Structure 1
């Protein structure tokens, strides 16, 4: 969902989701491979190969689709868009970049 700035409902049936400060990603696992897509349907798998590999392993041969947010956290667990920007537009991140910015 694309967030909108407005007053939240005052109703127990509603929940507020934390702003993670990340990048939306739709993961499509076909049972053997996982592809990641941006909100604008661009393939972003190359930017986050470790995430695609982990999701393919977690799918255990099953087909599934996940809609979530890729984030990077500081050492204290706070989401950081600034840190996430390092691998964001890199289509083939180095092993060092993957190690230094674990999404």
Structure 2
């Protein structure tokens, strides 16, 4: 298990224990974190699980794959620390990870 903190755009935090092997997106969906829709179910085929990885965690989380970078092109307000949460696997090394959710665009 790893503690992941999801921070909504409005600042509301959600501190969750997420099982190793799940994705950061799956942890959010299983716990009904608002702002992570995961329309494609984690297949890296949409950008509805877009998050900003806290800069202090960037190195541990790693860089997005080429496929993920292509999908991020469809996300709103992409930044240097943008990731698709479906592509981040939870490990013990990510215990304490902080991700922020972007403002929802309708």
TM-score (norm 1): 0.25
Larger radius of gyration: 1
